[in-house]
Amino acid sequence: MLGRDEDILKAAEDWSKAGRGVALATVVETWGSAPRPVGSNLVIDSDGNFLGSVSGGCVEGAVVTEAIDVIDSGKPKVLEFGVADETAWQVGLSCGGTIRVYVEKVS
């Protein structure tokens, strides 16, 4: 599900204020051909609902799963997906690039 950056950040704020567990995933680094630019966001709640995109859809499922863990643990994570990474092929990042995504709990 795509949205404008301001909509994504507003959703993160609104969902958090409503008492939902929320995480924000942000593309912090890219190499080569990357589906989304640095600064792209995905907001995720503890039920797996999300808004935005960090990869044009190819790794969102893996990011959502990791984000739910970040919500539960409160500990941020840095995720990396690339064409040479077996996991990236499994989740569909075949664009030839690499992305690094920072996932943090919103409070």
Per-residue pLDDT tens over the stretch 82-92? 755 555 455 55
- Higher-confidence position of 97 and 76: 76
Tens of pLDDT along 5-45? Answer: 678 999 999 999 999 999 999 999 998 878 889 999 999 99
pTM of the shown model: 0.85
What confidence score (pLDDT) does residue 4 get? 67
Mean pLDDT taken over the chain: 86
Pairing of strands 41-45, 50-52: antiparallel
- Asked if residue 53 lies in contact with residue 64, where contact means CB atoms within 8 angstroms, the answer is no
Pull the structure tokens for residue 32: 């080569």
For residues 106 and 103, give the distance between their C-alpha atoms in angstroms, rounded to a whole number. 10
Confidence band, pLDDT 50/70/90 cuts, at residue 96: low
